[in-house]
Amino acid sequence: MATDAPPPSKEERPLPSAEEFSEVQQSAEFAELRRSFRSFAFPLTVAFVAWYLLYVLLSNYAGGFMGTELFGNINVAFVFGIAQFVTTFLIAWWYSRHAAAKLDPKAEAIKSRMEGGA
């Protein structure tokens, strides 16, 4: 079938059937992909939101601590703010590294098998 099918157009590639999707969704391979995505992205989301809320709450209710001057006019609040930038950059980098190493190969394998019509 793969050989005599017309070349798929860029936009309207026929989708695999509903049965194929359900089958893949139930497969161990897909469960593993789902697990490596969720077990990384979900806890990390909770963590950075909590870290950000900690900053918001400290700003609100720990003014004295946040106002402590560390060097010159640079205080704890300022350092905390810059730290939010740094952690954002680091998390973005960390997720992308995880995705490239752990998610992309698995996703690619499933995709090419499904689109290959196997």
Binding residues for another protein, total number by CB under 8 A? 60
Does the protein bind another protein through residue 16 (CB under 8 A)? yes
Tell me, letter by letter, the H, E, C secondary structure of 36-82.
Answer: HHHHHHHHHHHHHHHHHHHHHHHHHHCHHHHCCEEECCEEHHHHHHH
> Are the beta carbons of 75 and 66 closer than 8 angstroms?
yes
**Binding residues for another protein, per CB under 8 A?**
11, 13, 15-16, 18, 21-22, 24-26, 30, 33-34, 37-38, 41, 44-45, 48-49, 52-53, 55-61, 63, 66-67, 69, 71-75, 77-78, 81-82, 84-85, 88-89, 91-93, 95-96, 99, 103-104, 107-108, 110-111, 114-115
